A and B are shown apart, each in its own frame.
Chain A
Amino acid sequence: MVPLSAYVAVSAVLFITGLLGVLIRRNFIIVLMSVEIMLNAANINLVAFSYYLESMAGQLVALFVIAIAAGEAAIGLAIIIVVFRGKISTNVDEMNLLKW
């Protein structure tokens, strides 16, 4: 029997990995991928607690998180395309204008 702590630990490690990715990577697309890693870590946590505490609510919230992630990916990638069309690279350090 795998203890709940093991699932929570995996989730914590994945979340910290994604957070580091957001902080240190400079490519906007990979920053978005790191956000997906963090959302997946949260999902593992929700489903693990749903299983060990015998409640269905965790799985439903995880389902909603997946839907939010789909919307976030669509909007984020559309923003990347708009920014790239303005001849700015996808390096987040060079995106320092609110309008042009």
Chain B
Amino acid sequence: MVSVFFTYFALASIAAGVLTVTLKHPVHCGLALLTLLLHVSGLFILLNAEFLWAVQLIVYAGAILVLYLFVLMLLNLKTDDRYFHSTYLYFLPPAAIGSLYVLILLFRSPFAGAKGDAPTVAVLQDGDTYAVGIKMFSDYLLQFEIVGVFLLGAVIGAIVLAKTPKPITDKRAR
């Protein structure tokens, strides 16, 4: 049952990713990106990461994608005639060969390693959100604070960048 869901989510997310790159109209690309994000959140559910599922839905599909669509509609872009790079055909064969090589390497690798301290049974006992919270506010507290400061800087930077500039004739504005 899990493998059926995995196959669906994996194939749908790859198809949505390819559509995001190849579709012509930017709004269609945004909607394909939304499909990709929802299916990736489905993969997170299969991996017992319910908290990340919720974060993916709220932050990615809810906030970031709305920001993209808002800017697309604010700018009111016309679809360009030439929307690919002029030499894009030269990129495709190396990409296909390289990805095939990477896939062959991946399926031959064993991926064994040292196990951590959060086995699936222990995570499922109290829930994934509990495990994430305990880990975040003990071992990763400094990183959490750094991300908070980073987001504050990003918000201030975005406001300063997108602010309407004063007219150049005003000398004091320099």
Binding site for B on A (CB under 8 A): 1-2, 4-10, 12-14, 16-21, 23-27, 29-30, 32-34, 36-37, 40, 43-44, 47-57, 59-60, 62-64, 66-75, 77-82, 84, 89-91
Does B109 count as interface, using CB distance less than 8 angstroms?
Answer: yes
Of all A-B residue pairs in the complex, the 9 with the closest CB atoms, nearest first, are A55-B116, A71-B154, A21-B21, A78-B161, A24-B88, A78-B158, A56-B135, A74-B158, A78-B162
Bound form: Cα–Cα A3–B98 in Å: 22
* Interface members, chain B 17-65 (any A CB < 8 Å): 17-18, 20-21, 26, 29-30, 33, 36-37, 40, 43-44, 46-49, 51-52, 55-56, 59-60, 63-64
B21 lies within 8 A of A26 (CB): no
Pair B26/A8 contact, Cβ less than 8 Å: no
> How many Å lie between the Cα of A59 and that of B14 in the bound state?
22
Given contacts A5-B109, A10-B14, contact A34 B49 (CB under 8 A): no
- Indicate if the CB atoms of A64 and B143 lie closer than 8 Å: yes
Which of B85, B95, B128 is within 8 Å of A16, CB to CB? B95
* B67 A33 Cβ-Cβ under 8 A: no
The A/B interface has a contact count, at CB < 8 Å, of: 225
A and B contact pairs by CB, cutoff 8 A, 26 listed: A2-B3, A2-B46, A5-B107, A5-B109, A7-B43, A19-B95, A21-B21, A24-B21, A29-B75, A30-B20, A30-B21, A33-B20, A33-B30, A37-B21, A40-B36, A53-B113, A53-B114, A54-B119, A55-B115, A56-B135, A60-B140, A70-B63, A72-B154, A78-B161, A78-B162, A82-B161
In the bound assembly, the distance between CA atoms of A82 and B7 in angstroms comes to: 42
Q: A12-B103, A16-B99 are in contact. Are A50 and B67 (CB under 8 A)?
A: no
Asked if B49 contacts A50 (CB within 8 A), the reply is yes
> Which residues of the other chain, B, contact A17 by a CB distance below 8 angstroms?
14, 17-18, 20-21
A91 to chain B, nearest CB (A): 7
Is the pair A62, B52 in contact by a Cβ cutoff of 8 Å?
yes
Q: Could you tell me which residues of chain B, from 130 to 165, have a CB within 8 Å of some CB in chain A?
A: 131-132, 135-136, 140, 143, 147, 150-151, 153-155, 157-159, 161-162
In the complex where A56-B116, A57-B135, A68-B150 touch, is A73 in contact with B83 (Cβ < 8 A)? no
For the complex, what is the distance from the CA of A57 to the CA of B113, rounded to whole Å?
Answer: 14
CA A24 to CA B36, docked complex, whole Å: 20
Contacting residues, chain A, for B155 (C-beta < 8 A): 74
Shortest Cβ distance from A55 into B: residue: B116
The yes or no answer to B106 lying at the interface (CB within 8 A) is yes
